[in-house]
Amino acid sequence: MNAELAADAGAILGEGPWWDASASLLYWVDIRGLRLHIFDPSLGEDRAVALAMRPGAVVGRARGGLLMAMEDGLAFVDPSSGSRKTIVDPEADLPGNRFNDGKCDPLGRFWAGTMDDAEQAFSGSLYRLDLDLSWKRMIEGVGISNGLAWSPDGRTMYYIDTRARRVDAFDFDLAEGSISGRRIAFEVPASMGFPDGMTIDEEGMLWVALWEGWGLGRWDPRTGCLLERVRVPVARTTSCCFGGERLDRLYVTTASVGLDSEGLASQPQAGGLFTLECGVRGLPSTPFAG
């Protein structure tokens, strides 16, 4: 399967796509370009909103507006102006860390993780923001906190620490929002690059974006079998999510960061937003319910 360009957005580090089903819009971020992007598939138009800080992830909020993981903490953001109201910065004491990927669980709690921006220390954590805006550190000792997904029955959480080069599974207690029983779901072979962001389809299979892997892989997390590959004409594929009216369209973000002029010439669409119909439907994106 091959993905095609949806928007030649020229992002530096495109990331974190999130489908807003109520407005039929795709939100995504450019972490190093300090931008919130809003893609309207009906018009084929991508619009960028400047932010004062580096964003890590974006989700909608059920009562309106957006919730974002920003460099300096979690914040409610107005998508028209980019203005923000910080909720909490759980790592005010770790200036070398920044927030990275984040997503809501099926009950609408927001999970987001951090990383050492220099990619040296394993000083990252994964946090859970509850509906009353209280928060809790759920995992410590993380290298690069990245993709998150919940199984269709809500009983398993999947998680990527990119530097571990694998996808882990946890037993997930939906009512409590607690995780236990961490184990390896599958490892990503070195020849496929590093696992970055991910999403899950209605069959419970994981679609994992492969940094330095020129695309995505679709894995069965219960057997560890690689089922399919999607080719993207950019080496640094960063994340993916399902969108469209029937949730049968995959959107894929990419990065141009680190490419010299020769690299950019060979990957002219780096930093673009890609899409493909992949023959299976995703699960609806959950907005923050608090």
Rule CB under 5 A: is residue 30 a binding residue for Ca ion? Answer: no
221's tokens: 């997390």
Toward Ca ion, which CB reaches closer, 197 or 244? 197
Q: Confirm if 55 and 67 have CB atoms less than 8 A apart.
A: no
Distance, CA of 244 to CA of 257 (rounded, Å): 28
State which residue, 123 or 290, has the beta carbon closest to Ca ion: 123
x/- mask, Ca ion, residues 160-199, rule CB under 5 A, reads ------------------------------------xx--
CB 174, min distance to Ca ion, A = 25
Helix (H) or strand (E) segment spanning residue 84: strand 84-88
Residue number with CB closer to Ca ion (241 or 290):
241
Instruction: With H, G, I as helix, E, B as strand and everything else as coil, classify residue 253.
Output: strand
Tell me: does residue 146 bind Ca ion (CB under 5 A). yes
Which of 25-33, 67-75, 130-138, 146-154 is the region at the interface with Ca ion (rule: CB under 5 A)? 146-154
Q: Give dist(CA 52, CA 83) in Å, integer.
A: 8
CA 186, chain centre distance (Å): 19
Nearer CB in complex with Ca ion: 197/233: 197
Backbone torsions φ then ψ of 251, nearest 5 degrees: -110, 140
CA-to-CA dists, residue 102 to 3, 149, 234, 258, angstroms: 24, 10, 23, 23
For the bound state, the minimum distance from the C-beta of residue 251 to Ca ion, rounded and expressed in Å, comes to 14
Q: Tell whether residue 101 is a contact of Ca ion (CB under 5 A).
A: yes
Binding track, positions 224-263, relative to Ca ion; x by CB under 5 A: ----------------------------------------
Per-residue mark of binding to Ca ion, 271-290 (x: CB under 5 A) = --------------------
- C-beta of 48 vs 112, nearer to Ca ion: 112
Q: Which listed residue (46, 116, 196, 201) is catalytic?
A: 196
The answer to whether 137 touches 200, Cβ cutoff 8 Å, is no
119 contact partners, CB below 8 Å, separation of at least 6: 143, 144, 163
From residue 198, give the alpha-carbon distance in Å to each of 33, 120, 217.
Answer: 21, 23, 10
Q: Is 196 labeled as catalytic in the residue annotation?
A: yes
CB of 63 to Ca ion, least distance (A): 27
Catalytic residue set: 196
Q: Residues interacting with Ca ion, by CB under 5 A?
A: 101, 146, 196-197
